[in-house]
Chain A
Amino acid sequence: MKILVTIKRVVDYNVRVRVKPDGSGVETDGVKMSINPFDEIALEEALRIKERGEAEEVIVVSIGGNEVQQQLRTGLAMGADRAIQVETDQPVQPLTAARTLLKLVEKEQPGIVFLGKQAIDDDCNQTGQMLAALWDRPQAAFASKVELADGKATVTREVDAGLEVNEVDLPAVMTSDLRLNEPRFVKLPDIMKAKRKPLDVLALADLGVEPAADLVARAYEPPPKRGGGKMVGNVAELVAELKNKGLL
């Protein structure tokens, strides 16, 4: 079985993102870029499945310009067997991303496509569910535990009510939640080895993907700030303040 794992290049988790003064976007020049943390968790899970002998090959895929090769190489250094860059210089929204991934799915015939549940830049939380719809296969979104047996997966999912367990037939789409695993650190020799692993480049334009109508961003603005607060010296003062505001 092959596992296809998606990797999105995003502004690093630790960067405090700022809106450009003219409201045309967010500041990304000179900002540290990384693998979307949820995708890193998805890749880690795929690697563990392979290391348990339940998959033969892990393929990482990213859609974007040549800069995404940096994140694909990191994925290879973590342990993926090969990488695919779907090359485009335009940003891709979830439905077009899902249609693109479907083309790769038809080509590679994976048993599992593993995505992060959301990317921490656009916070959309859509692509995995969309791919599952287009592929007409199960989706196990927000996974915190995955067990495979007999062509099926038993997936524990983090939902508002607690933990929901679903059983899905393979092939299936899964999206990772935070507590699925803790991704491994990449070691230097692995970075060297990753340079020799195959990285194929396919032009998005050559895949025959019907582009979806994109949402149009009209303006960006910083979030409204909460007013400055007040420090209180003790519990009695706190209670008095809350009573004063009619909250107690």
Chain B
Amino acid sequence: MARVLIIGEHDGQTLNPATAKTVQGAGGLGIADLDVVLFGTELDAVAAQAAALDGVKRVLTVSHDDFVHPLAARIAPEVAAMAGDYSHILTGSSTFGKDLLPRAAALIGVNQVSDIMEVIDARTFKRPIYAGNAIVTVEVPEGGPVVGTIRTASFAAAGEGGSAEISALDPQADNPGHTRFVRVEGGGGDGPDLASADVVVSGGRALGSSDNFAIIYSLAQKMGAAVGASRAAVDAGYVPNELQVGQTGKIIAPDLYFAIGISGAIQHLTGIKDAGTIVAINKDAEAPIFEIADFGLVGDLFTLVPELEQAL
């Protein structure tokens, strides 16, 4: 039976763009029977958004107070209980998916394909390894479903002309009770979401301080862009962790990316190589970022960035 299950990600109000990209990525499987399952409470609004995605046949909602916060230990057994009806179980390679899906895969008894960047056929995929320094083509053996995360930067979002049917399911597993959500800190901000923004302005260690990062925020605001950062800038405490772009941060694919005061370590480059156009501003003409930038400008960022903002 060829049938795809995508685990939708949402915050209670809005479907995360990772889900629309996962639906698009799953399109390459050539399987028309595609369900999106949502775990949460009061899921009507989110279910309607999922039902509108092109390619989705059914939206399944599983409502329970246990799902107010998406805990992997609670949701993974639900996914595993549904697995028998599906040939493919997918979600986006956000921290939600990275946390949840391996737990479900182990319960199902299969290895997971992490960060699918290209679908070759229904059981063969390309994925990056070694921080993107190599691409491996892997085949999933017969004998179990394909369980995988979709590298969202590799796919556009599915269109919104669909009208899938929506039906409710009951939870099938119990709350193990050993894991409790306490709180989430940070996030928020007024700008667009870093993971899905069309334009991203990132700053690096050369900014020198949290205060100096104001020129990055100012340029981003002028452009309607999201703010990002290199690992070095996050480690130094200039900006919070959720702004980190790279191998272990967010992998993004904006139309336009500004790397400002970022030297361009391979671990950062792997997070931006799907960007449409990369602009680098750095005082070191030898910085590796210039090897991959579409447009490079050598000079003092504290002069050039305000000048750029003026010119826009």
Contact = CB atoms under 8 A, between A and B. Distances in A.
B134 A164 contact: no
Q: Report the contact-size class of chain B (Cβ under 8 Å from the partner).
A: 35 or more
A146 B302 CA distance: 38
Interface in A139-185: 139, 141-142, 144, 154, 156, 158-169, 172, 177-179
B1 interface: no
Nearest to A96: B111
Contacts, number: 248
B112 A161 contact: no
Interface stretch (A48-56, A65-73, A238-246): A238-246
Nearest to A165: B182
Interface in B78-121: 94-96, 98-107, 109-115
Contacts of A172: 178
A121 interface: yes
B308 A164 contact: no
Given A130-B102, A133-B76, 6 more contacts: A125-B102, A131-B106, A159-B99, A163-B184, A165-B183, A238-B297
Which among B98, B110, B312 has the greatest number of chain A C-beta atoms within 10 A?
B98
A165 B139 contact: no
- Identify whether the interface residues of B are mostly helix, strand, loop, or mixed: mixed
Nearest to A129: B102
Contacts of A222: 133-135
Contacts of B266: 16
B197 interface: no
A232 interface: yes
Which among B11, B129, B231 has the greatest number of chain A C-beta atoms within 10 A?
B129
B156 interface: no
14 contacts: A130-B105, A161-B11, A162-B242, A163-B186, A166-B179, A178-B231, A212-B111, A213-B143, A214-B141, A215-B111, A218-B138, A231-B297, A231-B298, A242-B279
Contacts of B95: 142, 158-160
Interface string A127-140: 11111111011110
Contacts of A160: 94-96, 195, 242, 250
The 3 closest A-B pairs by CB, nearest first: A162-B186, A130-B106, A129-B102
Contact of A216 (B94, B130, B141, B188): B141
Interface stretch (B48-56, B160-168, B204-212, B233-241): B233-241
Interface in A177-198: 177-179
Contact of A159 (B104, B176, B184): B184
